[in-house]
Structure 1
Amino acid sequence: MSLLALTPMLRTPDLPASIAFYTDVLGFQRQGGAAAEGWAALARDGIELMLSGLNAHEGDTAPAFTGSLYLRTDDVDGWWRRLQDTARVCYPIEVFGYGMREFAVYDNNGYLLQFGQPIAAHDEATP
């Protein structure tokens, strides 16, 4: 018995704006669904994400998530240059004692997206 994948499902009151953020700002491609259908499946570089409207059955009134989505990358500086002026920054790029160079931004709903690269991999990629 195996788990084959984990696909986060983020709920949003403005599905068209969320689809636009993830496709236009982060470069995801729509794989299925549409705003008119109340959901969308997105993918980029082997990472999958689903978006849906608020779920009345569970009493959703606003986006809520107490964690973050941590995206490991091979070019944290490139992502920082791309996002620092187009997304609301939580904290700027910095090196942490646990061996990661990372930064964090919020999506259009306030979900926290952290981008990180191991320091050793960053140092190897920097000439």
Structure 2
Amino acid sequence: MQSITANLKVNNVKETLAFYKDVLGFEVIVTVPEYEQPVLNWGMVKNGGAELMFQEKENLEEEYPVLKNDSDARCLTLFIKVNDLEGLFAKIKDKAQVIKSIHKTLYDKKEFAIVDNNGFVLTFAE
């Protein structure tokens, strides 16, 4: 294997890309159709070595009908390693729903967690 990138099912790709760009500092790499279009089927973002893909719910379910049986309940969390945890927390704490402030874990890491605009839990660790 060379790499793995999550492709997340979302209701609105454009709003999701805006959240990851404006709140978390990701760069929008590519979209389908082009970003200027009012509705997007798919998009990819990158920040350092982290990459994520987002695909519009109905588009993804058409591609993979087995996903139609998937409930809308969020069951995915993403664990993201960062270099400046406190700086990132200060930058986004007023722009995102913080569900766990910076704390020390049992495995001796500093972490905090937020919920993105789709309900996915993002845990940031240093």
Aligned with residue 30 of structure 1, among 5, 28, 31? 28
Residues 1:51 and 2:50 aligned together: no
User: Structure 1: 5+ residue runs without aligned partners?
Assistant: 118-127
User: TM-score w.r.t. structure 2 length?
Assistant: 0.82
Identity of matched residues, %: 29
What is the letter of the counterpart of residue 17 of structure 2?
I
CA deviation string 1:23-73 (max 9, x = no partner): 111111111114634000111102111011003322168754423101111
1:82-109 alpha-carbon deviations (Å, 9 max, x no partner): 1211100111111112110000000001
Is the contact between residue 74 and residue 119 of structure 2 (CA under 8 Å) also seen in structure 1?
no
Structure 2's unaligned 5+ residue stretches are none
Match of 2:11 in 1: 13
Code of the aligned partner of 1:71? I
C-alpha separation in 1, matches of 2:40 and 2:76: 27
For the pair 1:112 / 2:115, whether they are aligned, the reply is no
Q: Which amino acid aligns with 1:45?
A: G
> Alignment partner for residue 88 of structure 1, among 81, 86, 97?
97
Tell me whether 1:41 sits opposite 2:39 in the alignment.
Answer: no
- Shift of the 18–63 alpha-carbon distance from structure 1 to 2, 3 Å rule, reads farther
Q: CA deviation at 1:16?
A: 1.4
For the 8 Å contact 2:14–2:40, the answer to whether it is kept is no
Q: How far apart in 2 are the matches of 1:64 and 1:52?
A: 17
Runs of 4 or more off by more than 4 Å in structure 1?
A: 60-64
Distance 1:60 1:37, change over 3 A: farther
